Amino acid sequence: MPLSGVRDVAPLLADAPEMADLKTEPAELRGAEILHVMYEIASGEMLDLLPKALHPTIPPTMTFWVMHCPESEVGPFTLAQVRIGSRAGVRPRGWPTAAYCDSARAGEWLSKRWGFPCREGQAKLRHLHDRVAATVQAGGSEILRVELVDPQPISGADVQYTASMHLARVPLADGVKPRLVQVDPEFTFHKAERGRPQLHGFDRAAWSAEGVNPVYAVSATYAVADVTLPRIRYVMHPDLPAMQGTETVG
Amino acid sequence: MKFGIFYEISVPRPWENGIEKTVYDRCLEQLRLADELGFDQVWAVEHHFLEEYSHCSAPEIFLTACAMSTKKIRVGHGIAVCVPQFNHPVRLAERAAVLDIVSNGRLEFGTGRSATWTELGGFQASPDDTKKTWDEFTRVIPKMWTQERFGYEGRAFSMPERAVLPKPVQKPHPPMWVAVTSPGTELDAADRGMGSLGLTFGGFAEQERKVNEYRRRIAVCEPVGAFVNNQVNTVNFLFCHEDLEEGVKTGRRLSGTFQYMAAQLLAAREAYPAASYPSLGLLPALRQEASGPGDPSGAPEGLAIGNPDRIADQIRKWESVGVDRINFLLNCLETVPQEQVLASMRLFASEVMPQFDPDCPAAQARRGQGAAAGVR
């Protein structure tokens, strides 16, 4: 059977968000701009990156995900994430090592309702004619600079973004427990472009991504879409395979 | 209706203590038995880098071993990947011709283009180009087989005139097929006069619609080769057991393991958005079908698992929607012990195959017994 992660999530729980309630109402983010950059990563430490519940993709991958939302119920914000490519059972999933949001209000909203591992930082996304550029600053230094170079239009129907699994402390019948919260947004695409990825700066420590070594550029896409952050439907025990550890919400 | 077996050759970790050789030896034992039992064809895929899921990277060599140890069964070299970073078209034509010679004219030639980033990325092939190179390769390979000398100036490759040797035994050339995973590829097959080698299962209704459209299109096709191969081939799982419950239980374990392993791979579309990969290929179809709710026996629609009666019933339905051939996956990650795989094949051949193939060995043996009883 496929390889599984070996990461003990206990040390991560202190920084993991605590969700007040799993009965989250959906929220729409209209006109969101998304930069999604995928790299293959070195396989040496791939199993150390993932919780036991998740399998690494074959080959191991990571994505840089930066989303600028001009409007939401908590105002505009830009969210940046680093995700490790994985599978929960047979389902494609991203495992975020960390996220930065430029709005404290939005960061709290995303953390409490969907378990995004948000920290405060300045994330920027710029769409230019020759490139789409994203930068993230935190603690006074730049911790990410990534670009899509030479954008070419493609159909939004060709774009597929995977759902993510967020480690959070969630209220269950027998108390607050650590779980991986499945967040599978819906996308209605208005525009999509594809180009070459270029990574100019990546502070692994700032992203809790020590051991993540991007070695081979795969693809970069930029999209404008209406994004619906969903009702939470499933959570997973972080140490159990999906077949045994998945719980339905509500 | 003809029956075959289909090899991905999956190998469970850890890859030590000779497990790869053990799995290959078991596959060869299965196909020798398949030849004796009257299975019509054996197919072996070309896959690279697909950990555990498929260790079948040199199918032409495996199929040569098959040809050397069997008498009748046809050898399906497919899917030969028609992407220049994987294979030069001359090498594809040459290897296929040799396989046709050593098998004494038993080659079926399947073509495709790979559906995973795992493979395409490994060879640094662009997903944008694979449909184009597949189209180009399938036009030139039959010419390499049938013309004494072949020269070409094309998009993916060019070459001065040379004699591509040897030539196949089958004249004008072996039957050609297209692997069908993405929606619409069956129409590509039809328009080019090639057989449809379906690799996703689909339900009966979906398959009937596709077969009807395939037949309509191929009737007016412009064949890439010297003849039209108007046939629809599908893939399925096989586990046949006297006890329905046991057959379904083991068959579901087999199909579930396969789809679980397939899902771990990185589909081309997931990694690299491109119009040339409109679906995730094998993955979602397998996922849905292999884990579907199924009929009252608990087996998903169309899967050839259970007892002989249930399997025969499913095959009749495939036959009724226009399928000509079914190829069976027999194992995955050795989840079914070899003795059970062989017993399943024997039971299928004795109880199910004669209902569809009056010339199979079991049917002939029964007629012989009946005639002998009549003489007495």
pLDDT digits (tens, 9 = 90+) for B85-114: 999 999 999 999 999 999 999 999 999 999
Tell me, what's the pLDDT at B292? 56
Structural domain count of chain A: 1
What mean pLDDT comes out for the span B133-158?
98
Q: Are B354 and B363 in contact (CB under 8 A)?
A: yes
B150 bridge partner residues: B162
- Scanning every residue of chain A, which has its alpha carbon at the shortest distance from the alpha carbon of B270? A160
Give me the total of CB pairs closer than 8 Å, taking one residue from chain A and one from chain B. 77
**Which ipTM value was assigned to this complex?**
0.94
Cβ distance A192 to B271 less than 8 Å, yes or no, reads no
Tell me the chain A residues in contact with residue B257 when contact means C-beta distances shorter than 8 Å.
1
Whole-angstrom Cα Rg for chain B: 20
> Where would I find the beta strands (DSSP E) of B138-284?
150-153, 158-162, 176-180, 195-198, 232-240
- Scanning every residue of chain B, which has its alpha carbon at the shortest distance from the alpha carbon of A56? B264
Tell me the chain B residues in contact with residue A3 when contact means C-beta distances shorter than 8 Å.
13
Cβ distance A159 to B273 less than 8 Å, yes or no, reads yes
Tell me the torsion sign for CA atoms A12, A13, A14, A19.
positive
pTM (2 decimals)? 0.94
Q: Are A72 and A32 in contact (CB under 8 A)?
A: no
Tell me the chain A residues in contact with residue B263 when contact means C-beta distances shorter than 8 Å.
87, 89-92
Tell me, what's the pLDDT at B125? 97
CATH 3.20.20.110 fits B2-375, yes or no: no
Grade residue B372 by pLDDT with cuts at 50, 70 and 90: confident
Please give the structure tokens belonging to residue A84: 């490790």
Tell me, what's the pLDDT at B287? 43
- Scanning every residue of chain B, which has its alpha carbon at the shortest distance from the alpha carbon of A197? B272
Grade residue A22 by pLDDT with cuts at 50, 70 and 90: very high
Cβ distance B265 to A61 less than 8 Å, yes or no, reads no
Average pLDDT over chain B reads 93
Average pLDDT over chain A reads 96
Q: Chain centroid to CA A180: how far? A: 13
Distance between CA B376 and CA B368 in Å, rounded? 12
Tell me, what's the pLDDT at B371? 78
Q: Which DSSP state fits B351?
A: I
What mean pLDDT comes out for the span B166-193?
94
What mean pLDDT comes out for the span B220-241?
96
Q: Name the residue facing B264 among A55, A160, A221 (closest C-beta).
A: A55
Distance between CA A230 and CA A59 in Å, rounded? 29
**Torsion angle defined by CA atoms of residues A237, A239, A245 and A250, in that order, rounded to the nearest 10 degrees:** 0
| Beta-strand pair B232-240/B304-306 | parallel
Nearest to A159 by CA among A73, A48, A35, A51: A35
Q: Chain centroid to CA B214: how far? A: 18
Tell me, what's the pLDDT at B92? 98
Distance between CA B258 and CA A2 in Å, rounded? 11
Tell me, what's the pLDDT at B289? 54
Nearest to B211 by CA among B318, B353, B316: B318
Q: What is the CATH number of the domain that holds A73?
A: 2.40.400.10
Residues of B at the A interface, defined by Cβ within 8 angstroms: 12-13, 49-53, 117-118, 121-122, 257, 259-261, 263-266, 269-275, 277-278, 280, 283, 287, 333
Any idea which residue has 């077969």 for tokens?
Answer: B211
- Scanning every residue of chain B, which has its alpha carbon at the shortest distance from the alpha carbon of A60? B266
Map residue A57 onto helix, strand or coil.
coil
Cβ distance A57 to B264 less than 8 Å, yes or no, reads yes
Chain B contact for A55 (CB, 8 A cutoff): yes
Cβ distance B118 to A162 less than 8 Å, yes or no, reads no
Grade residue B64 by pLDDT with cuts at 50, 70 and 90: very high
Write out the residue range of the structural domain in which residue A136 sits: 10-248
Q: Are A226 and A190 in contact (CB under 8 A)?
A: yes
A5 located within any domain: no
- Scanning every residue of chain B, which has its alpha carbon at the shortest distance from the alpha carbon of A222? B273
Q: How far is A59 from chain B (nearest CA, A)?
A: 6
Q: Where is average pLDDT lowest: A87-96, B128-137, B231-240, B364-373?
A: B364-373
pLDDT digits (tens, 9 = 90+) for B313-366: 999 999 999 999 999 999 999 999 999 999 999 999 999 999 999 989 999 998
Q: Are A195 and A150 in contact (CB under 8 A)?
A: yes
pLDDT digits (tens, 9 = 90+) for B284-294: 444 455 555 56
Distance between CA B183 and CA A181 in Å, rounded? 33
Sequence spans of domains, chain B: 2-375
pLDDT digits (tens, 9 = 90+) for A105-150: 999 999 999 999 999 999 999 999 999 999 999 999 999 999 999 9
